[in-house]
Amino acid sequence: MKLLCAIAPDKFRDEELLIPLDVFADAGIETAVASTRAGTCEGMLGAQVEASAPFAAVLPDDYDGIVIAGGIGSQDYLWDDGDLINLVRAFADAGKVVAAICLSPVVLARAGVLSGKKATVFPSPGSVRELKRGEAISVDDDVVTDGRVVTANGPSASEAFAKAVVELLSI
């Protein structure tokens, strides 16, 4: 099993990446980190993480799923990233796990994978509007799984979010 973890190059939410990485490692799942560019990415709380590849260089066939961390950087760098949106579509079309936390479920909505699906998001005016626009069924829960899609609403849900991803991968 191998997961792609997608983060913003700046201001990703540290615990929304680091806690899932620990949960995935404990479950024996290999991970790789990608961003809008390869190199050092900085979290909102100061974590520095190396992205091994830009989204454009990722081959979905190499992975069993994609997990997108949130943070304010998601809105700034990921919501409109065409390469990431295309990756999400490719993963979803292949029936792979697609997961996003905090503000990043907006990427899933913009990719069209939340249409008719239950989902949650960190409730900012923009994120709520985007989920509606993507025809998601908004649910006020910390973590929501619908089919092969997992969404979560913020940092405090990071561990439960990661465990939901692991559970889906085992099905």
CB 102 within 8 A of CB 122: yes
**pLDDT value, residue 9:** 98
Distances in whole angstroms, Cα of residue 47 to Cα of each of 7, 15, 24, 52, 72:
12, 9, 18, 16, 14
Distances in whole angstroms, Cα of residue 115 to Cα of each of 23, 71, 132, 137, 138:
29, 23, 9, 8, 11
CB 119 within 8 A of CB 108: yes
Give 96-139 pLDDT, tens digit per residue: 999 999 999 999 999 999 999 999 999 999 999 999 999 999 99
**pLDDT value, residue 71:** 97
Give the domain 2-169 fold.
Answer: Rossmann fold (3.40.50)
Query: Is the alpha carbon torsion for 87, 90, 96, 100 positive or negative?
Result: positive
* Mean per-residue pLDDT, 148-157: 98
Residue 171 has pLDDT above 90, yes or no: no
Would you say the pTM of this structure is higher than 0.85? yes
- DSSP characters over 106-133: HHHHHTTTTTT-EE-----HHHHHHHHH
Give 75-96 pLDDT, tens digit per residue: 999 999 999 999 999 999 999 9
What are the residue boundaries of the structural domains of the chain, listed by start?
Answer: 2-169
CB 14 within 8 A of CB 45: yes
Angle (CA) 25-127-91 rounded to 5° is: 45
Q: How far apart are CA 77 and CA 81, in angstroms?
A: 7
